[in-house]
């Protein structure tokens, strides 16, 4: 009598170094790789359109990888995962189910509820560590509490960093049953009906092979100059691995191993600033585990009283990249076109929305959620709360980015702005980040009429900065 094991894949869409796959294969006779599409279970944070596009292609790639090894990926859809797992376990006679843990509030609740019910059914459940270097509860402060400050968290984490042993992808897998009423990836309807996704297809290769290729290219290339170039949105200086990491097409353990195998140390030298960015991802999961309400509510409770001013017109101008502030518009257009935005520009764009325009950070988080291919609830929550000033940030002052200054510092040639705001292409570098300050003759020569070819700025940066600081003053001394 051989065991039949269901491998419940969720956000670990790879074959190499996949702990749930390894666990499922140990002692299994038959393996049933399964993806279940249950958007209703993700509650308010079900995948947005860009994320669904990525998921479609990642599932298709994973199915191909399974088929190359003699297996296949089964796909189901339903109102809840438990019903589908029960149906398929019964149909194929499975006695055991393996999966990698998830950590968001809704997915955690689903997994806990599902595990309880499956165990009551008499099925064995093996949940293994998710796609992180540290489980979110692994690290604690001296007082045995959660960290709220990244530097303290990471200082501690680095002392615990070890070099993982990576399990290669299996070269052959046992055949999977083909008679369980499984759907094709296409039938999930994840792709957009209106074909707005050509820019995404041009920018990305979802799936494990694409993740591996990008990781190698990054580690053998831009990693060496990461410290100097990562903040330049006009330069290909970052890893652009975030969507691959989100869907678990590659894991941070694999990246750490690849870096070490190139002879680099993790906590100093050229690799250190990149490994630190992986640390921010870990910290985001630490925070969402310990403070699950922060997906929707500020970590800093004083911000319940912050005077946001909700304005659909301002929000819409920001979303569409029509604020009249070039760096911000470039970023939001890059996002719309490619499903991704350079992190430096994310910070500047989020600062403009939450501080200068004083729109609630949740509105920006929601827009990013719908448009980013790397939309990740832990990282998105941390990023927006950090920029809004209501999250885990050790700075004692109210940080407000000046998008002109950010542009001049990090896009000094203006090439990034020119790429995404072509109507400004002929403006000289001196004025590219503040066209409103250019003399009339310069604008004429560049073929720009402000207010028609390109918007006048929708906000006075200096005045709105003062107002935001005043708003901060009204809440900062609360108990």
Q: Which residues are catalytic?
A: 277, 280, 308, 343, 361, 384
- Say how many residues make up the chain: 479
Question: Does 241 belong to an annotated binding site?
Answer: yes
Q: Using CB under 7 A, pick the residue from 119, 397, 447, 449 that binds DNA.
A: 397
**370: number of Cβ within 10 Å:** 15
Question: Does 239 belong to an annotated binding site?
Answer: yes
Question: Does 35 belong to an annotated binding site?
Answer: no
Per the structure block, which two tokens stand in for 347?
């910070």
Tell me which residue of 395, 399, 350 sits closest to 148, measured CA to CA: 395
- Interacting positions 144-173 with DNA (CB under 7 A): 150
Does 465 help bind DNA (rule: CB under 7 A)?
Answer: yes
Query: Shortest Cβ distance from residue 413 to DNA (Å)?
Result: 18
Per the structure block, which two tokens stand in for 329?
């518009």
Q: Using CB under 7 A, pick the residue from 107, 110, 406, 464 that binds DNA.
A: 406
Question: Does 31 belong to an annotated binding site?
Answer: no
- The single-letter DSSP state of residue 251 is -
Is the separation of the CB atoms in 45 and 365 below 8 Å?
Answer: no
Residue 335 parent element (H or E): helix 326-338
Burial of 187 (0-12, 13-18, 19+ CB in 10 A): exposed
Question: Does 274 belong to an annotated binding site?
Answer: yes
Per CB under 7 A, the segment of 35-43, 165-173, 426-434, 460-468 that binds DNA is: 460-468
- Interacting positions 112-141 with DNA (CB under 7 A): none
- Interacting positions 341-360 with DNA (CB under 7 A): 343-344, 347
CA distance 89 to 95: 7
Question: Does 26 belong to an annotated binding site?
Answer: no
Comparison of 453 and 460: residue with beta carbon closer to DNA? 460
Q: Which segments within 137-239 are labelled E, that is strand? A: none
Does 477 help bind DNA (rule: CB under 7 A)?
Answer: no
Q: Can you spell out the DSSP letters for 283-300?
A: HHHHHHHH-GGGGTS-SS
Per the structure block, which two tokens stand in for 302?
């004083």
Is the separation of the CB atoms in 324 and 357 below 8 Å?
Answer: no
Query: Shortest Cβ distance from residue 328 to DNA (Å)?
Result: 12
Per CB under 7 A, the segment of 158-166, 257-265, 285-293, 394-402 that binds DNA is: 394-402
Query: Shortest Cβ distance from residue 101 to DNA (Å)?
Result: 24
By rule CB under 7 A, what count of residues binds DNA? 20
Q: Which residues bind DNA (CB under 7 A)?
A: 150, 277, 280, 343-344, 347, 395-397, 399-402, 405-406, 409, 461-462, 465, 469
Indicate the annotated binding residues for FAD: 226, 238-242, 274, 374-376
């Amino acid at each position: 009598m051989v065991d039949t094991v269901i491998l419940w894949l969720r956000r670990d869409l790879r074959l190499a170094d996949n702990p749930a796959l390894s666990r499922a294969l140990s002692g299994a006779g038959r393996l049933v790789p399964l993806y279940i599409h249950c958007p209703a279970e993700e509650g308010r944070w079900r995948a947005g359109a860009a994320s669904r596009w990525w998921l479609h292609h990642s599932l298709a790639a994973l199915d191909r990888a399974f088929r190359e090894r003699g297996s296949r990926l089964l796909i189901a859809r339903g109102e809840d995962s438990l019903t589908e797992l029960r149906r398929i376990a019964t149909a194929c006679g499975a006695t055991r189910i393996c999966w990698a843990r998830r950590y968001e509030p809704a997915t955690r609740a689903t997994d806990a509820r599902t595990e309880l019910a499956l165990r009551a059914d008499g099925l064995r459940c093996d949940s293994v560590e998710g796609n992180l270097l540290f489980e979110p509860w692994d690290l604690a402060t001296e007082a045995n509490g959660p960290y709220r400050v990244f530097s303290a968290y990471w200082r501690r984490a680095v002392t615990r960093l070890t070099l993982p042993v990576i399990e290669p992808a299996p070269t052959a897998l046992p055949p999977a049953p083909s008679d369980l009423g499984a759907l094709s990836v296409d039938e999930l309807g994840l792709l957009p009906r209106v074909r707005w996704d050509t820019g995404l297809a041009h920018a990305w290769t979802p799936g494990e092979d694409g993740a591996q290729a990008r990781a190698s290219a990054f580690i053998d290339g831009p990693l060496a100059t990461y410290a100097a170039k990562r903040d330049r949105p006009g330069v290909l200086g970052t890893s652009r691995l975030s969507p691959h990491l989100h869907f678990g097409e590659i894991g941070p353990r694999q990246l750490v191993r690849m870096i070490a195998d190139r002879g680099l140390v993790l906590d100093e030298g050229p690799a250190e600033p990149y490994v630190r960015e992986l640390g921010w991802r870990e910290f985001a999961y630490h925070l969402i585990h310990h403070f699950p309400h922060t997906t929707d509510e500020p970590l800093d409770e004083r911000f319940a009283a912050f005077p946001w001013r909700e304005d659909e017109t301002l929000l819409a101008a920001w979303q569409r990249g029509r604020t009249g502030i070039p760096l911000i518009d470039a970023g939001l257009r890059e996002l719309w076109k490619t499903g991704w935005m350079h992190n430096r520009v994310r910070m500047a764009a989020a600062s403009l929305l939450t501080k200068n325009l004083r729109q609630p950070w949740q509105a920006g988080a929601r827009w990013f959620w719908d448009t980013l291919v790397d939309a990740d609830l832990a990282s998105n929550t941390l990023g927006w709360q950090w920029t809004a000033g209501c999250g885990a940030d050790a700075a004692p002052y109210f940080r407000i980015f000046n998008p002109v200054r950010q542009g001049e510092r990090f896009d000094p040639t203006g090439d990034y702005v020119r790429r995404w705001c072509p109507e400004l292409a002929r403006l000289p570098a001196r004025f590219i980040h503040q066209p409103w300050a250019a003399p009339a003759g310069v604008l004429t020569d560049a073929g720009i009429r402000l207010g028609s070819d390109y918007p006048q700025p929708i906000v006075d940066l200096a005045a709105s900065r003062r107002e935001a600081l005043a708003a901060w003053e009204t809440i900062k001394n609360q108990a």
